[in-house]
Structure formats: structure tokens, C-alpha cells
Amino acid sequence: MPMLRHFETCYVCVISVAEENLAEAEISEKGRFDHPYIEFLFFGEDTAGDFIPIKQLREKYDQPRYEASGDEDDDDGSTDS
């Protein structure tokens, strides 16, 4: 009897859902998501709610450094010169 080799096969489960059975997420479900590494990958969020990535992520995805919008020279908020 010849030696049979055993090959392990991995199957990916795919679930199909009809489009009419899909529903839009409610506003409360669209909030912040939890991930174990979120505090290591991002400095926090800007005023628009977008995450501010760390240097390694910026370099990997060739993204510019985050710059706060607004006039940094104007400390008191007045428009007078």
C-alpha cells in the first residue's frame, strides 16, 4: 500500500445575505469602535472625529503628518491685528 500524504485544507466560510435583508446601522451603532490596539496605533481623535495615526502608520501608508486646522499664531481668538 503506497504512503498517502495528508493535506490539510482550510475552508473559508462565506455567508450570503440578500440586499433586501440588510438594514442601515442606527446612529448609536455608528459610534466609536473598540479594538485592543487602538491606543497603540493612534494618538487620539481630531475635532472631526478622525483618528490621528502614529508615525509608523503614516510612513507605511505614505500619509502626511496631522496638522491642527486653525490659526496657531492667534492665542486669544480675536481677529484684530
Note the pLDDT tens digit of each residue in 9-58. 666 777 888 888 888 767 665 566 778 888 889 898 888 878 899 999 99
Range of the domain at 62: 34-66
- Three-class SS of residue 9? coil
Whether 59 shows a pLDDT value over 90: the answer reads yes
Query: Residue 72 domain-assigned?
Result: no
Total number of domains constituting the chain: 1
Q: Is residue 41 part of a domain?
A: yes
Residue 15 within a domain: no
More confident position, 69 or 57: 57
Question: In what helix (H) or strand (E) does residue 39 lie, and over which residues does it extend?
Answer: helix 38-41
Has residue 40 been placed in a domain? yes
- Residue 49 in any domain: the answer is yes
